[in-house]
Amino acid sequence: MKYKVLNYKDTRSGFGEGLFELGQENEKVVALCADLIGSLKMNAFAETFPDRFFQVGIAEANMIGMAAGLTIGGKIPFTGTFANFSTSRVYDQIRQAVAYSGKNVKICASHAGITLGEDGATHQVLEDIAMMKALPGMTVINPCDFNQTKQATKAIADYEGPVYLRFGRPKVATFIPYDMPFEIGKAIVLKEGTDVTLIATGHLVWEALNAADMLEEKGINAEVVNIHTIKPLDEEAVLKSVKKTGCVVTAEEHNVLGGLGESISGLLARTVPVPMEMVAVNDAFGQSGKPDELMELYGLKDKNIVEAAQKVIVRK
């Protein structure tokens, strides 16, 4: 199947639409925001369901605690702020009041990664997946486009337990059909292939699909696997693909330390050790710039995945 661009939309708008629909469908759903309603696209929910929406101001620690408390009484709280302030800013609050306490809180994080752009490294969190996946019981999801983010937003409301949902700021290609099934913890094989497995999450999934096209022109048949749920990892799907292709490239908008690539490498080291390359940010902070300039500078483009694929195939 060939994927085409349906439109260009930001994944955060997928979150906003999903949340608004949840508001209509599930009255247990409540939302909290730390002074970023517009950025998180939570306006529709906030305006339509004022009794179920909490503006907490720039007080993220209080927001996480309140969200944990709202579950006591049967609510399903969705918190919204930038990814940096959703994780590192409040890691201890999430650890104790949400993860360790087993609370049904959905931590929804926008502006993840370097594609936040011009605001620079203070806001460009590249360590959030590492932090969140290290918490026992935490589900970690990084959808790839508008449609998948909307699907994920709706799916996590039906799942009982703490979830970290990570999405981004810029308008990117929407290519996942709106009716493609989405299941937490289930990888999606977007393109079948035999020579190399490209495993990607978030914004890098579109890059991986483009990379597969570019590899095709070089006579390399790549399989593209979309891991939207980094934890729990769909080990079966990864191993099935890897056993077929014999080598892997992972791609993510995150630090190489603690990200999707490390999860995959840990799995493979324990089961089917095969050559592997990781396309990720190489243990660095970001900087100001346009999203695309930064993706280029930090080596997160389709061409970087192509290079990694060519390199890994030689090592087979």
The residues annotated with a catalytic role in the active site are: 60
3-state secondary structure of 206: helix
- In the complex, the smallest distance separating the C-beta of residue 41 from other proteins, rounded to whole angstroms, is 22
97-116 binders of other proteins (CB under 8 A): 97, 100-103
Stretch that binds other proteins, among 3-11, 16-24, 47-55, 152-160 (CB under 8 A): 47-55
Contacts of 113 (CB under 8 A, 6+ apart): 83, 124, 125, 126, 168, 202, 203, 253, 254
Q: Select from 21, 95, 267, 288 the one that contacts other proteins (CB under 8 A).
A: 95
The residue among 52 and 106 lying less far from other proteins, judged by its C-beta, is 52
What sign results for the dihedral spanned by CA atoms 42, 46, 52, 57? positive
3-state secondary structure of 303: helix
Stretch that binds other proteins, among 61-69, 115-123, 187-195, 224-232 (CB under 8 A): 61-69
- At position 258, the amino acid (one-letter code) is G
The residue among 92 and 118 lying less far from other proteins, judged by its C-beta, is 92
**66 forms part of the interface with other proteins (CB under 8 A):** yes
- In the complex, the smallest distance separating the C-beta of residue 105 from other proteins, rounded to whole angstroms, is 9
- In the complex, the smallest distance separating the C-beta of residue 247 from other proteins, rounded to whole angstroms, is 40
The residue among 96 and 282 lying less far from other proteins, judged by its C-beta, is 96
| Distance from C-alpha of 59 to C-alpha of 85, rounded to nearest angstrom | 10
Q: Select from 61, 121, 214, 257 the one that contacts other proteins (CB under 8 A).
A: 61
73-92 binders of other proteins (CB under 8 A): 73-75, 77, 92
Q: Select from 14, 16, 23, 65 the one that contacts other proteins (CB under 8 A).
A: 65
Helix (H), strand (E) at residue 294: helix 291-297
Q: Select from 31, 33, 68, 172 the one that contacts other proteins (CB under 8 A).
A: 68
Phi, psi for 294 (deg, rounded to 5): -70, -40
**70 forms part of the interface with other proteins (CB under 8 A):** yes
The candidate with the shortest Cα–Cα distance to 290, out of 38, 116, 99, 58, is 116
The contact mask relative to other proteins for 17-36 (x = CB under 8 A, - = no) is -------------x------
Q: Select from 38, 57, 177, 266 the one that contacts other proteins (CB under 8 A).
A: 57
| Distance from C-alpha of 197 to C-alpha of 135, rounded to nearest angstrom | 28
Helix (H), strand (E) at residue 18: helix 11-25
Q: Select from 62, 221, 265, 287 the one that contacts other proteins (CB under 8 A).
A: 62
- In the complex, the smallest distance separating the C-beta of residue 93 from other proteins, rounded to whole angstroms, is 6
The residue among 97 and 249 lying less far from other proteins, judged by its C-beta, is 97
- What angle separates helix 260-270 from helix 235-245, to the nearest 10 degrees? 70
The candidate with the shortest Cα–Cα distance to 107, out of 82, 86, 85, is 86
**54 forms part of the interface with other proteins (CB under 8 A):** yes
- In the complex, the smallest distance separating the C-beta of residue 53 from other proteins, rounded to whole angstroms, is 10
Put residue 207 in one of left, alpha, beta given phi > 0 → left and psi -120 to 50 → alpha: alpha
| Distance from C-alpha of 196 to C-alpha of 285, rounded to nearest angstrom | 30
The residue among 51 and 179 lying less far from other proteins, judged by its C-beta, is 51
SS3 per-residue string spanning 126-158? CCHHHHHHCCCCCEEECCCCHHHHHHHHHHHHH
Query: How many DSSP H helices and E strands does the chain contain?
Result: 13, 14
State the residues that interact with other proteins by CB under 8 A.
30, 51-52, 54, 56-57, 59, 61-75, 77, 92-93, 95-97, 100-103
